[in-house]
Structures are given as structure tokens and as C-alpha cells.
Chains A and B, each alone.
Chain A
Amino acid sequence: MLRSKAFVHRNKKGNVVKVVKEHYLRDDISCSSKACTTCTHLTPPILASDPPTYPNTAFPKPHYLIPDTNVFLHQMDLLEKPFLTNIIVLQVVLEEVKHRSAAMAARLKVLMDDADRHFCLFSNEHHRDTYVERLPEESPNDRNDRAIRVATKWYTEHLTPAGIQVIMLSNDTENRLRANASHIPSTSVLEYVQGLPDHPELLDVIVHDTDGDLEGTGEAPKFSYPHHISPLAISSGVKSGNLLQGTLNISQHNYLEGSIYTKIQGIEQSVLILGRTHLNRATQGDVVAVQLLPKEEWRTTPTSVVEEEDEEGKSPREAKRRKTLSPDEEMKDVSSHEEAVKSPPQPTAKVVGIVRRQWRHYCGFIDRRTVKLDQTMSYQNVLFFAMDRRLPKIRLRTRQAGLLLGQRIVVTIDSWAETSKYPMGHFVRALGAVGDKDTETEVLLLEHDCPHGEFSRKVLACLPEEGENWVVQDAHLAQGRRDLRDLPICSIDPPGCTDIDDALHVQTLPNGNYQVGVHIADVTHFVRPGTPMDVEAASRGTTVYLVNKRIDMLPSLLGTNLCSLRSNVERLAFSCLWEMTPDAQIVGVEFTKSVIASKASLTYEEAQLRIDDPSKEDAVTKGIRVLNILAKKLRARRMERGALTLASPEVRFALENDSQDPVDVEMKEMKETNALVEEFMLLANISVAEKIFSRFPEASMLRYVVFFSEKDAGYAHVKLTHLLLPPIFRRHPSTRALVSFISFISTSTGSCESFSRANLTSGLAKVRAPRSIRRARSFLARILSTRIPLVTASSLELVERDEGN
């Protein structure tokens, strides 16, 4: 069956265009239930034939749920709880979710991909019996609601013979009334969850309708924020220049003081937004539209306003919060206040609308004073302090306030009504007791948005089947890998290192030169591009080392075993082999995939001892001595050319043996052997960079173009778009930040000379750059603390060499 969809829409240029689309209706779409015998299942059905019947007093029979769009948009925290399974996601609902919130759509996709949850997609819009035409006078929303009801009805009729009930889950009262009128089983989320006596904690996870809530409690003072203007008004206002748009950044010291960084008449500058009313319900990270205040109302620095607000006399709680600032800081505030009087006033604005909310999950704790301890098991409104001090307090409605006191909990914001002083949120989950080591670690990870969950089954499925017993086979050699198993290869790493990713060797050649090799674990053999494991590793980005544990980027089978070049095991590697004169001049270089067997995994200290101990005369020891001599020469030459060294000291925690509590922090000592390894890794990167540059100059190499003319004094433009980085890093914000940072350095110092010279180091310390650049600096520091810097540093060197030529 064929239906045409015709509608009119406005395209980018603003022209009105009529779009006519074909819409095919089918009769071969399956209900995807294992219990169904009538459908022909083209793909294996997802819904279980015997959906687990929880002791749900409201719905004791086995059933599937069909939630509507708002349930997905607002109750995602509830749906993510593992007890809800066998849910039918209608196409119409999924599309609306995608349209309304990309974040929710992404979370929903994760749920749908999880085979244990039995979430199935039903293409109701293409099903002959469930497609509904929009009636005249019917709003799109009403039409969608009707489509959900029709689909539920179809499912009910379809699955009644199989003895399965299908229930529509909706918080929309009108929708439910209409469903009842046509005998479609439906329920509200609250009703459904209340029917689960075993899970009382779930009630807190439900998002409540906030309207009218506050008057009932009588707690909120007569307080009202100004209206937000409509998105249309915002976009036209921004276009005409009446409004400014930017990302709100709240001060770390005061959550009532924010700023955005935006262009005013072509000049980038920061605009202050001060006070509760002017912030107008915007929170940290939101993209807001602001209106500049008249010049008379412009303020000098934020700090002066803090005190003014104190004078206005806010609630004692707030005053108390402000007193948590250390006396030092207060002193500073006062002194800077005095200074500020002299400085010219800064543009100040008020928020008139919010373009995009950046609400996420917040970790924090419940304010003890707001809890009425005598009524612990009934609903009460409490206030929540987020660990992130830039956030306002969040109002929560909970039944377990008593239990949650003294715990770190996760909360998310649902809404912020005009009449409510604080945003309304709901409880997501409890992390554990305040002060507990594991809890606080979890808080840190969550607050820094560090993915730290277990690897999913999909990711683990990408691991080689043999698991721990994986061995190098002849087949690997047949694929063109070179057999380097006889070479005296060793690795030098910090003590206790389990993920050995690089190893070295040196060998004297018949002509008196040396063959030097750097071997990097060949992770690409196990992690194929585009696989779930690759995607997961890319999103994690790096292995995170905490005081007493680490969060792996790759499953530990790979990270610490198959891709770890441990001694006396055969491993796959990617090798870079040089022929070098005893004077450390490179004669030739080649790259190859290889099979190696490391002869020794040494710590820096062990390697140093071997160098110093004259009685040791084995091949590995001799090799390290030679490498050490070569490294010194390489290093000296590099320094001579003005290499950039950024000292990023590594720290180590000394742990108490039993409790694993950290008792001391010590700086890692730099030994000669550290420099040895560093030097050769750097050399490998330089060689790889040269190779890539010679082969793929278009796509991969640092292109260094300096346009520098006397006319526009001090303008140097550095085009660093072709950084020698894999594409994934090129897209990474830190790389973009790095590019803007380096171009900033070169513009501010006024010459390209200084950029490539070692005084970039001092430049790093000195630059007092605008905020975006400061962020870039922290990014740069972060990049430099991982392996990437070697690449960047080497590319800097290459630049120099190019200049020399």
C-alpha cells in the first residue's frame, strides 16, 4: 500500500518548499514477540515469550509495555533500572525522542542495543494496520498519541491468544482517558511503579510533575523569575544583534555570578551576568541568550556584586554557604574589590532565554537542615548540594530522605519553574557513604565524566576466542610479519607496570653500524577499526590511573596480556628498525609488522643497575649500554637544535599494605634510563612522521605555513590543520584547542621564530590568555601528559628541520 506524505517546510535559505515523500505500508512487519505464532519473523524476535512477572499488584499477568514519548524523555532514569524489560519502542515514539532530545535518544539506543533488556522497535508507521492518517483539525501531537493507542490496540489484539497483555505507559491523563474509552489497557508510570512493592526506592526515581507542587508545600517564598522568551524570538534577536548568545560559565566561587564569552560588535569579550534574577534559571554550561544592560548598570568585577547581594540579605543558608570560603579568599575578594573600583566597568547582561540546557547527573549530598527527621518515610522536599559548586541547590522530593543523609547521591534536574527559586530534580541513585574511599572515587569519576563501567558484552565479544591461551601461530608470520624472535629485545618500564607497550633492542651489524629497533605492541591486530571495542576504546581515550586502581581503555586481556610485550612470551609487534652509525646518525630506517619475544622486562632501576654493573656481560645488558650511549648523543643533538622539553613530573602514591590507603606521595625520579626510552620513542615518532609525510603529505602531515608580513605587525598565522595525528584525534577538541593555542602563541609573541624555539615552554607559563585559550592550555598540558606529545614535539622538530633546509 502506498501513501504519500506531503508537507510544506522552510529550507535553509528561507524559501518555502513543498516536499512530497512516499510512504509504503507493509504487511510483513513482525510483532517481534517470541510468543507469537502468526507473524513471520525476518529477524529473531526480541520480546520474551514469558515476560517476567514481577509481583506487580496492578498487573499480575505477563505483559509488555508501550511507553509514550514523554516517558522516554522524562523517566529515562527509571527505564534504565534493569528491572524494566520487554518494552516496545514505537517508531513514532523513537522519532519524536530523537527530534526532541539527542541525549535521550542516545541513552535509549544503548538500552535498545542491550539484548538482556528486550527493548524492541516496532515500525508502526509502516505497518498496514497501525498507520494512522492525521485528521483535519488534529495536532501532530494528538495524532502521535492516537498512533500509540492504535499500536497498543493492535498489539493487544495480536497477542491476546498468546496470553500476553500489552499496556500503554503514559503520564498524559487525557491520553489515558481516551485509551480507556476504547478499552486499551493503560497506566501511568507512578501507578505502575507503585504496583511493585519490592522496589520502593524506584518511586524516588520517578519525575514528578512540578507544577503546583510548590504552593502545596508553602515553602517557596513569593518569588518569580522573568519569563524566558521563545526560541524563535531568540534566533531573530541574535540575528539582529539585539541579543547575544554564548555558553554560560559560572564562577567557581559564587554560583550567582556567571559570564559568557561572546562577540560584541566583532570583538570577543566576556560579558558578566550577575545575580539570581539576571541569571534567570540558567545553570553552568547552558547555552543562553542574553541582553546587554544599559551602560549605567555595568559592573566592574563580579566580586563587588557578591557583597552587595550580601547586604540585600539573602537567606541565612546562603550566607553560610558563602562563609565556607576560606578567610584568605575573602581577603582577596575585598582587596580585588578595591582594585576593581578603578578598572572600567565590564559589559553586563541579563539572561532572557535558554537555547540549550546542559543538565546532566550531579553528584552531591542532601542538606541536613532541610530534612524533617520525624517523618522519614513520607514524601518531603529537601535541598541538595552538588559537589560542583557552580550549581544552585536542587530541590528534591523523596521518601527516603532519612536514609540518604550522609550519603553521596546522584541527582538530575528535571525542570525549573518560574515560581521556584531552585530547580526541581529527582534522585537517580545513591553512591555510598560520604568519606568512603570507593564512594568518593566514584564521585570523582562521575564528575569528570570518565567512562568507568565494565566493558559490555559486545566489546568483550571482540576479544580473540582463545582468550588467555592465545599464541602466535605460523599463520601470523605468513601474513608478512617479520620474525624477530631471536633478537635481544628488552623493555624498560616503571616498577609494577603490567601494560608494556614498547620494547627496544640493539644489535651490531657486520659493517660496524648498529641495528636499533623500537617495537610497539600491535594492538591493531586485535582491535579492528569500527568494531564495538574500537568505538569503546575511542570514547575512553586513555587508561585512567587512580591511586589504587586503574580504569582500562581496553579489556585487560589485551591491555595487560596479549598486547603487553612481556618477557619470554611471543607477541605481535609493530617494529621500527634503524641502521645507525656509532655516532647515532641514521643510515636507513624500515617499518615492519613483526613477531617478537622480549628477553627481559626491566624496571628503570634494574636497567640502571645493569648498565652500572661491570660484571654483567649478557646481550641485553650490552644492548642497553649501547642504547644509552646512542640516546645521549641523540638527546644532545636534539637539544642543540632547540628542542622543547616540558617537564611533567610523574607522581607515585605509596600505599599502606593492608588497607591500600595512600600514605605518601613521591615524585618519580628521572633516571638516565627514563631518558633512554623516551629518546628512542621520540626517534621512532620522528621517523614515522617523516615516512607518513613522504607518503601522504596531503592527509596526514603537519603542514606548517607561516604568513608573516611586516604590514600587519605581529601577525603570524600558523596552519596546523594537518597535524600528524590519526583522524580521530584530528577531530578531537583537544587537537583543535592545540591548534588554536599554538596559533595564539605565535600571534602573541609576534614571530614564528619564538614558536619553534624552546621558549614555548616559558611562553606556556607566561601567557595570560583569554579564557578559551586558557582552556586550550590545560588541554595542551593534558595532551602532553599522554603519548601524543611525542608526535607533536617531533613534528615541531620537523618544522625546524624544514626551515633549515
Chain B
Amino acid sequence: MSRNELISPEGLRLDGRRANELRRHTAKLGPLSQADGSAFLQHGHTKALAAVYGPREPRHRAHAMHDRAYLNIEFNIAPFATGERKKRNKSDKRLLEMAHFVKQTFEPVIMTRLYPRSQIDLYIQILQDDGGALHAAINASTLALIHAGIPMKDYVCAVSVCCYKDASLLDLNRMEENTEHADLTVAVLPKSGDISLLQMESRLHADKLSDLMDLSIAGCRQIWKTLDGVVRENGEEEQQKASEVSMVLEK
């Protein structure tokens, strides 16, 4: 009966989910009017906002690459995102690291070769952090990139998993993340099942990995459904708007 018992004898987690359940997640395309593409995504209480600018001319000449576009990613966590206010410096190592993870995830997926000598900017802001900031950021980025019309091989869907005793937990909230159990963030291309990010900062027994991977891929597929639904809905809306406009024009 230790204090950090993550799962009750009945099989419920601290917030009432079962081990293999995601938090409630919703998303919205185009919250920002100025950006070329933007998305807002909510994963339980974790809220992420992503904005995409470009492809456009590189800001520094050094970034111009003759064969592909340069991907510039900034990751930031708002000071009010956690219970305790904490102002983060832009050069915060943790933030740079997160940005790097996102970059690693998207570099092979975005068709950067279509835009040589240009730059794509992706700004990610975590407005509230209740665990899983990285995977929320990746999911929001996918939507924002789609919204900007940047060609990608596939959606990138990410989720975190954790191994707790004999159970594998999906989509950790802050309380679960703060325990000493190994947690793993996985980003998957749902159609091919390719894994584009696998990130963990603790040790895990190799035997447990396959279970965790199965669970996380299943979780990513679920997220994909949501994201895909949002994109299609948005597409229909846009289409409707366009047809309304054309009708008005015809008149």
C-alpha cells in the first residue's frame, strides 16, 4: 500500500482510467489566423499550441541547404503551465532537448526535399502541462503542418507509455509521470507502423518493451483516428466555405 500505488486492485488508475485508456483528447485546426498553419490540441489537461510558418526564405543564409528545407523548431512551456509558476529561459537545456526530439521526429517525415533553400518554422507552446507535453507537442505539430499544407509521408502520432508492475499504462498524466517508473514516449506513422521517435530516460527490462510497444502503437492508432477526424472535418468545413463563397461570387 505504498503511497504511489498507480493502479487500484480494481484496475483503475488514480484519475479513474483503466490501464489501456487514453485521456480525453480534442483538437482544433487553425486557431491562429496569422500563421500558415496552426493547431490546438488538448490531452486531458495538457494543452499544446503549434504554429507553422513557411516554407519561406531562410532567416540566416547559413541555414539554406541546396537540397532540402531547413526545419526550425522552437519549443516553449508557458510559465503558467504547471502548478508552480516557473519562468523558463529560451536557452533552457530541457526545452532545447524537447525541440530536438520534435525535430528528429519530423525530419524524416516532412518532404523537405521539395523545398530546397527554404526554411520551415514550427513554434510549439505548451499552455498547460499535466504530463505528456512531448507527445502532445508532436500531435499538435502534425496537425499544424497538415493545416499549413506541408507535404508529409503520413501523420505522426505520439503517446507515452509506462511500465508499472505487471501492467502497462497508456498516456501518463503528471502524477504518473512523476513516479520513478520507466516511461517511454513513442511516435508512430500509423499507416506504415514505422516508429519515428522512441524516447526514454530510465531503464527498462528488455522483456517489457514489446508489450509497451504494442500498447503504444494501439494508442497511436487511436490518436490518429481523432487527428484524422479533425482534419477531415476541417476539410469539409473549408470546402463548404469555398462553395458558399463561389455561390456568392456566381450570384
Contacts and interface: CB of A to CB of B under 8 A. Distances in A.
Contacts of B10: 29, 43, 121-123
A17 interface: yes
A26 interface: yes
Interface in A41-72: 42-43
Interface stretch (A98-106, A292-300, A453-461, A554-562): A98-106
A123 B84 contact: no
Nearest to B21: A24
A81 interface: no
B1 A23 contact: no
B26 to A, nearest CB: 11
Interface size range of chain A in the complex: 20 to 34
A109 B1 contact: yes
B17 interface: yes
Interface in B10-49: 10-12, 14-17, 23-24, 44-45
Contacts of B24: 2, 24
A123 B8 contact: yes
A22 B1 contact: no
B183 interface: no
A121 B1 contact: no
Nearest to B15: A22
Looking at A4, A22, A126, the one whose CB has the most chain B CB atoms below 10 A away is A22
Interface in A475-532: none
A98 B15 contact: no
Interface string B154-180: 000000000000000000010100000
A17 B16 contact: no
B16 A123 contact: yes
Given A22-B23, A43-B10, A123-B12, A17 B130 contact: no
Chain B contact residues, majority secondary structure: loop
Contacts of A105: 1
Contacts of B16: 23-26, 123, 125-126
Contacts of B1: 98, 102, 105-106, 109
Contacts of A21: 14-15, 45, 173, 175
Contacts of A125: 16
A26 B11 CA distance: 13
A714 to B, nearest CB: 41
B79 to A, nearest CB: 14
A2 B173 CA distance: 15
A24 B9 contact: no
B9 A121 contact: yes
Contacts of A18: 83
Nearest to B46: A22
Given A21-B175, A22-B23, A22-B44, A126 B130 contact: no
A94 to B, nearest CB: 9
A22 B45 CA distance: 7
Contact of A19 (B8, B11, B14, B83): B83
B194 to A, nearest CB: 31
Interface string B60-87: 0000000000000000000000011000
Contacts of B45: 4, 20-22
A106 B3 CA distance: 12
A123 B8 CA distance: 9
B107 to A, nearest CB: 33
Most buried by B among A26, A105, A122, A126: A126
Nearest to B23: A22
A417 interface: no
A141 interface: no
A121 B23 CA distance: 24
Contact of A121 (B8, B14, B175): B8
Interface in A93-135: 98, 102, 105-106, 109, 112, 121-123, 125-126
A43 B15 contact: no
B88 to A, nearest CB: 17
A668 B203 CA distance: 51
Contacts of B84: 11, 15, 17
Given A2-B24, A106-B1, A24 B8 contact: no
B11 A91 contact: no
A22 B130 contact: yes
A125 to B, nearest CB: 7
Contact of B11 (A2, A4, A11, A42): A42
A502 to B, nearest CB: 33
Interface size of B as a range: 10 to 19
Nearest to A97: B1
* Residue among B12, B16, B24, B83 with the highest chain A CB neighbour number at 10 A: B16
A121 B10 CA distance: 7
A24 B17 contact: yes
Interface string A407-440: 0000000000000000000000000000000000
B173 A22 contact: yes
Contacts of B173: 21-22
Contacts of B8: 91, 121, 123
A298 B10 CA distance: 57
A269 B10 CA distance: 50
B222 to A, nearest CB: 16
Nearest to A5: B15
Contacts of A4: 45
B70 to A, nearest CB: 38
Contacts of A19: 83
A19 B14 CA distance: 14
A125 B15 CA distance: 10
Nearest to A28: B18
Contacts of A22: 15, 23, 44-45, 130, 173
Nearest to B173: A22
A98 B23 CA distance: 27
A17 B12 CA distance: 26
Interface string B73-112: 0000000000110000000000000000000000000000
Interface string A1-35: 01010000001000101111111111001000000
Contact of B15 (A23, A29, A109): A23
A23 B173 CA distance: 11
A133 to B, nearest CB: 15
A17 B83 contact: yes
B50 to A, nearest CB: 22
Contacts of A106: 1
Interface in B109-134: 130
Please indicate which of the listed interface residues B1, B17, B45 has the most CB atoms of chain A within 10 Å of its own CB. Answer: B1
Contacts of A43: 10-11
A24 B15 contact: yes
Nearest to A530: B165
Contacts of A11: 84
Interface string B173-196: 101000000000000000000000
A109 to B, nearest CB: 5
Nearest to A24: B16
B4 to A, nearest CB: 12
A726 B11 CA distance: 33
Nearest to A15: B84
Contacts of A98: 1
Residue among A24, A25, A112 with the highest chain B CB neighbour number at 10 A: A24
A22 B83 CA distance: 14
A20 B11 contact: no
B67 to A, nearest CB: 46
A20 B83 CA distance: 8
A22 B9 CA distance: 20
Question: Which of A18, A21, A23, A105 counts the most B-chain CB atoms under 10 A from its CB?
Answer: A21
Contacts of B11: 42-43
Given A17-B83, A91-B8, 17 more contacts: A17-B84, A20-B83, A21-B15, A22-B23, A22-B173, A23-B16, A24-B16, A26-B16, A43-B10, A98-B1, A112-B9, A121-B8, A121-B10, A122-B10, A123-B10, A123-B12, A126-B16
6 contacts: A19-B83, A21-B45, A22-B15, A26-B12, A105-B1, A126-B12
In the A-B complex, the 6 residue pairs with the smallest Cβ-Cβ separation, listed nearest first, are: A126-B16, A24-B16, A17-B83, A22-B15, A105-B1, A22-B44
